[in-house]
Amino acid sequence: MTPRALVLTGRGRYEDPWHDHAATSHVVARTLGTMGIEAEVRSLFPDSMGDLADYDLVVVNAGHGRVDPDFDGDHAAWVPAHRAMMSFIDAGGAVLGLHQAAGTFADNTGWGAALGGRWVWGHSMHPPQELATFRPTGDHPIVDGLDPVVVDDEQYCHLVLEPGSQVFLTTRHEGTDHPVAWVSATGRVVYDSLGHDVGSYASPSRLALLRREVDWLLRR
């Protein structure tokens, strides 16, 4: 049976002026298609997560945006969506969080723990975007035999990890190695901080990493 993936893309309270989530989500969906996966791209609405159980993989590609009650629905309107996401993860559903996923769903208090870490405003940061090298670390199957990832992308630094998260990719900034991709201890959940823009997915080594993450999540 053909695996099915849902790519949830930033919109409204989960979009911002600095990221074209629609464009990067479509690139991700096309990549999944080349892997024999039926991929659907869906903008985030309060009722956009009601059928997650119908999918083998959920990809979250969304930003922080605005979460004030007068914009794009109040917090109460989004509670069912966030509960659906947490139920999907608790049931063993496969989730891949990309780039800004570490800073999205600020109105879901369980998201950071489920993802295995978070972007913390005032603490996390990134230097100016540039051609950078991201190095595999540890012994997770995702990076077994993987070459360093060389890509024009943002280097997220000072992300705050949850206990038990298994880091498999780092970047070096100002003499310190920073974790940028990991497997959460709470379920079949992977976070990958790469993917600022469509140019990121032009890198063969970045695509190799993405494909390995997806294959591991789908137990292939």
Fold of 4-217: Rossmann fold (3.40.50)
Kindly give, in sequence order, each residue whose CB lies less than 8 Å from that of residue 220, ignoring residues fewer than 6 positions away: none
Paired tokens of 77 = 């309107």
Q: What whole-number distance in Å separates Cα of residue 18 and Cα of residue 14?
A: 12
Q: What whole-number distance in Å separates Cα of residue 21 and Cα of residue 104?
A: 12
Of all residues in the chain, what percent are helix, strand and coil, respectively (each to 5)? 30, 25, 40
**Per-domain boundaries in the chain:** 4-217
**What is the value of pTM for the model shown?**
0.97
Paired tokens of 48 = 């956009």
Q: Divide the 220 residues of the chain into consecutive groups of 10 and give the mean pLDDT of each group.
A: 97 92 98 98 95 98 86 90 97 98 94 97 96 97 97 98 98 96 96 97 98 98
Tens-place pLDDT, residues 26-79: 999 999 999 999 999 999 999 999 999 999 999 999 998 888 878 888 889 999
Phi/psi at 192 (5° precision): -135, 115
What region, left, alpha or beta, does residue 80 occupy, with left being phi > 0 and alpha being psi -120 to 50 degrees? alpha
Q: pLDDT value at position 71?
A: 85
Q: What whole-number distance in Å separates Cα of residue 168 and Cα of residue 179?
A: 8
